[in-house]
Amino acid sequence: MSETELRKRQAKFTKELHGDDIGRKAGLSALMSKNNSAQKEAVQKYLKHWDGKTDKDAEERRLEDYNEATHSYYNVVTDFYEYGWGSSFHFSRFYKGESFPASIARHEHYLAYKAGIQKDDLVLDVGCGVGGPAREIARFTGCNVIGLNNNDYQIAKAKYYAKKYNLSDQMDFVKGDFMHMDFEENTFDKVYAIEATCHAPKLEGVYSEIYKVLKPGGTFAVYEWVMTDNYDENNPEHRKIAYEIELGDGIPKMFHVDVAKTALKNCGFEVLVSEDLANNDDEIPWYYPLTGEWKYVQNLANLATFFRTSYLGRQFTTTMVTVMEKLGLAPEGSKEVTAALENAAVGLVAGGRSKLFTPMMLFVAKKPAEAETSPSTSKKTAE
Ligand SMILES: CC(C)=CCC[C@@H](C)[C@H]1CC[C@H]2C3=C(CC[C@]12C)[C@@]1(C)CC[C@H](O)C[C@@H]1CC3
Ligand SMILES: C[S@@+](CC[C@H](N)C(=O)[O-])C[C@H]1O[C@@H](n2cnc3c(N)ncnc32)[C@H](O)[C@@H]1O
């Protein structure tokens, strides 16, 4: 199917699934408004690739179908993410006494700072979600942001929030696959990506597209999801953790940190910073909201978030969604989505505790000032 046909089909399906009036409802009330048969189809489209198989053929199929698989994943999890986490879909470090939203915002500010984003810069947010980080970074720096996303539902939501918070003049959100970007070469002053490029079937593909659209001398900063140096692909215990993360988070294949670093260099980037922000002595680990350990609760105002993300809260949500599905209040397949998200939580905590995995491998990379983009090279690596 051609790219244009796929886009049309995905846009039509989004209308069927979520209706026309996207934005006003979020979380469980948005879930309750979804079309039943479309939801069932979306859940099947996502889960068909995660049938427990970890052999090369199964992996190959997931890599090939990355666009549809991820599109379907975010069609079914976005409402749960907003309900449980908020509108920035990423992790962060936690300082003692710091509230949950403050730490999420600080993580975004830090990336903007490392990327050197300035007032009036034109910035690309690769895999922008519903625009939480774009809104924060635009306010923080005064830059202009284009958010790129292959999920129509999230784009509609991001546009709705930008308007609601009077930020439409500073940002726009466009549909597109980050493996094949439509922007002109040398367009953006800075590019950032937060916990999104791990959905790529090949990191060289997305990084080379970023290189292409970045101006010479421009900076790309990314929080990458990778398996660390402690990870051994041939160790079944390790592979199980990686698979749980892939399944629960809609990722075709978790790559090793060296794969990411090498990919950046192969695309022509000069890697200025390469640091695992999770590899530290922080008293409060990044994955604490998913562990349900009360000792880490920093702020009573965040109790609702803490409860929803904790093991107990997740069981509560699963039970509630199961009952809602039985009563016809939630669309069919919602229960399966909460089960997949449970895998995500378990895999992420196991990966975090064992330091086999990090969601915050910070890379800051520069496109050399004298760089000439050769379309043939960037095309070749994108394939
Ligand atoms: C998928 C990628 C690359 C990044 C997303 C990171 C996180 C924002 C999510 C990873 C697992 C998610 C879960 C939830 C919210 C968003 C995540 C932490 C829930 C807490 C949402 C509410 C559900 O009832 C349970 C979910 C568990 C997993
Ligand atoms: C975990 S979310 C992170 C969103 C956002 N960066 C944030 O922190 O809130 C990953 C995002 O990547 C987007 N994404 C995944 N694959 C993509 C692709 N091939 N092209 C464009 N966006 C993609 C998803 O739709 C989703 O918005």
Q: Is residue 303 part of a domain?
A: yes
Centre of ligand 2 to C-alpha 125, Å, is 9
User: Ligand 1, atom 26: nearest CA belongs to which residue?
Assistant: 341
User: Ligand 2, atom 20: nearest CA belongs to which residue?
Assistant: 177
Q: Is residue 378 part of a domain?
A: no
Q: Is the CB of 176 within 6 Å of ligand 1? A: no
- Give the span between the Cα atoms of 104 and 91, in whole angstroms: 7
User: Ligand 1, atom 7: nearest CA belongs to which residue?
Assistant: 90
- pLDDT on residue 342: 95
Ligand of minimum distance to the alpha carbon of 14: 2
Residues of the domain holding 258: 1-369
Query: Tell me: the pLDDT tens digits for 60-79?
Result: 999 999 998 999 999 999 99
User: Ligand 1, atom 22: nearest CA belongs to which residue?
Assistant: 84
Q: Is residue 167 part of a domain?
A: yes
Query: Tell me: the pLDDT tens digits for 327-358?
Result: 988 888 889 999 999 999 999 999 999 999 99
Between 290 and 50, the higher pLDDT residue: 290
Atom of ligand 2 nearest to the CA of 179: 19
- Give the span between the Cα atoms of 89 and 74, in whole angstroms: 11
CATH code: domain of residue 168 = 3.40.50.150
Choice among 201-205, 224-228, 320-324 with the minimum mean pLDDT: 320-324
Q: Is residue 379 part of a domain?
A: no
Q: Is residue 76 part of a domain?
A: yes
Going across the sheet that includes 357-366, the strands are: 171-175, 144-149, 122-126, 188-194, 214-227, 357-366, 270-276
Q: Is the CB of 34 within 6 Å of ligand 1? A: no
Ligand of minimum distance to the alpha carbon of 129: 2
- Residue 373: pLDDT band (50, 70, 90) is low
Q: Is residue 380 part of a domain?
A: no
Q: Is residue 119 part of a domain?
A: yes
- Residue 10: pLDDT band (50, 70, 90) is confident
User: Ligand 2, atom 19: nearest CA belongs to which residue?
Assistant: 177
Confidence check: pLDDT of 50 > 80: no
Assembly ipTM = 0.99
Confidence check: pLDDT of 380 > 60: no
pTM for the full model?
0.94
Number of domains the chain contains: 1
- Residue 37: pLDDT band (50, 70, 90) is confident
Average pLDDT, rounded, for the chain: 92
- Give the span between the Cα atoms of 175 and 183, in whole angstroms: 11
- pLDDT on residue 383: 42
- pLDDT on residue 260: 98
Query: Tell me: the pLDDT tens digits for 277-306?
Result: 999 989 999 999 999 888 888 777 788 889
- Bridge partner list, 245: none
Choice among 31-40, 167-176, 180-189 with the minimum mean pLDDT: 31-40
Q: Is residue 197 part of a domain?
A: yes
- pLDDT on residue 374: 53
3-class secondary structure per residue, 189-238: EEEEEECCHHHCCCHHHHHHHHHHHEEEEEEEEEEEEEECCCCCCCCHHH
